[in-house]
Structure 1
């Protein structure tokens, strides 16, 4: 049940847990806004802001009522660690503004006060909180000592290239760059500032996302509720190839998995999490703006444990869940 008291505005870097999410008042978020450019691009004003401008080959009805694909959580999620919209910290890379709109896929109405988490690797493929895993879990320190002999016992390790296995791993350090939580405004909008992600073994370039709803917003935080969506956002090949020509991405020598080879992306375009990107194709280093409408079923629970990886022709299964 939602508290009618107006929540106090937080400091953006305040740490919190999933059940103690301190949020800004409605007025503070409205002041941030997404700007007329995104509103015009993402939603047709003639339709009262209810329908997304369809991509080529889509009707407006299809884009409005589709559920966005669920995906596995991956091993590197840290539960609502920081409330902030600018998650860049000290990471170098191409500036990325990520503009999201969260809607009810049944009614197309915006979902307000949803808590949205995003997290992704840096330009070299490293996740904060797991720096000793190296590039996406595949570039950690080499083993030392004599190799084991005899028949192995116990459960197999969940690590490996790309952080495979899908099971959650506890953080190994206190770094928290490229992670953040914020909440949607009354129009369902939320915007993050970050950098264009890099890549690591077995995965294409992507950003993780969770949407939490039905909690109670109070002066103390966010109580109850559930995760109605766990997914990933993806970048088209043209943009990734352009980023690879720019430092520090150009120093990433890890073999890159393409969008069509990826084991998580379901090849369904916007429905599968493919971002709409805007940037100067001659100067991508100046910055990229990505936008997408996320259609969710607020009555369902999808915590990332119920979405098996999609089959793929070439990506390694051990890398399919990060």
Structure 2
């Protein structure tokens, strides 16, 4: 997200998107969310800023979740990712297990940053590769403090990086085919370039060494998201 050179707001408000059917709240505060999942390493750094003031948002709770290399989400590991799901609402697909891989949260530091260690996500039928994000405003580094959900979104990847990853051993051989960003309904109607991560390779010789992804997310700290309500975090808890 690029800053304006003049006038308010100082930062673009990042576009909100749906939370999807695979949202849950395992209450896991952790930087490494991979749990040993097989896949190409991904280091993700997100910076949360107040879109009105350009100041970093500190002590915000940033949750992320995404599927594994084969398209499975923890909590729904028995749902076939090669078959397109008909629904996108929270709770629309009953959970099948208590796995927690590729989910977790971090509190933003004094610079508004969070950093996660994960793997590059795969895909499930009918979608491009993406990562879900929710940002909660808290009164401090405690789940019990008063909070509200200010922003819910999805992050996408440059096509060149996605195609490289999908051709590797851990991701290939699927019955379904990943959509490109421009074929993905949510990317084209809600996200677009403003939801696309900046990606760099971690190694010089091979993409197998992994990727580093980053984005600045501009939010309205007083906004109340319509995508996830505070009670959803309580309702859909492990």
- TM category (shorter chain) comes to 0.7 to 0.9
Cα distance change of structure 1 residues 63 and 201 upon mapping to structure 2, 3 Å threshold: farther
Mapped to 2, the partners of 1:165 and 1:65 lie a distance apart of 29
Aligned match for 1:222, one of 140, 144, 163: 144
Cα offset for 1:188?
0.1
Q: Name the residue aligned to 1:130.
A: 76
Aligned match for 1:276, one of 179, 198, 207: 198
Mapped to 2, the partners of 1:173 and 1:131 lie a distance apart of 7
Runs of 4+ more than 4 Å apart = 58-64
Q: Name the residue aligned to 1:178.
A: 102
Asked if structure 2 preserves the Cα contact closer than 8 Å seen for 1:183 and 1:190, the reply is yes
Q: Name the residue aligned to 1:65.
A: 11
Mapped to 2, the partners of 1:184 and 1:89 lie a distance apart of 22
Mapped to 2, the partners of 1:163 and 1:131 lie a distance apart of 17
**What is the TM-score normalised by the length of structure 1?**
0.65
CA RMSD of aligned residues (A): 2.3
Q: How many residues align?
A: 224
What runs of 5+ residues in structure 1 fail to find an aligned partner?
1-51, 140-160, 307-322
1:36-51 matches, within 5 Å, as none
Cα offset for 1:200?
1.4
Cα offset for 1:303?
4.2
Deviates more, 1:170-179 or 1:62-71: 62-71
Cα offset for 1:163?
5.5
Q: Name the residue aligned to 1:260.
A: 182
Q: Name the residue aligned to 1:25.
A: none
User: Is it true that 1:293 corresponds to 2:216 in the alignment?
Assistant: yes
Cα offset for 1:102?
0.2
Asked if structure 1 preserves the Cα contact closer than 8 Å seen for 2:4 and 2:11, the reply is no
Mapped to 2, the partners of 1:244 and 1:60 lie a distance apart of 38
Mapped to 2, the partners of 1:80 and 1:284 lie a distance apart of 31
Mapped to 2, the partners of 1:206 and 1:76 lie a distance apart of 13
Asked if structure 2 preserves the Cα contact closer than 8 Å seen for 1:236 and 1:274, the reply is yes
Mapped to 2, the partners of 1:225 and 1:115 lie a distance apart of 9
Q: Could you say which structure has the larger radius of gyration?
A: 1
User: Is it true that 1:115 corresponds to 2:61 in the alignment?
Assistant: yes
Cα distance change of structure 1 residues 290 and 90 upon mapping to structure 2, 3 Å threshold: same
Q: Name the residue aligned to 2:89.
A: 166
Cα distance change of structure 1 residues 95 and 163 upon mapping to structure 2, 3 Å threshold: farther
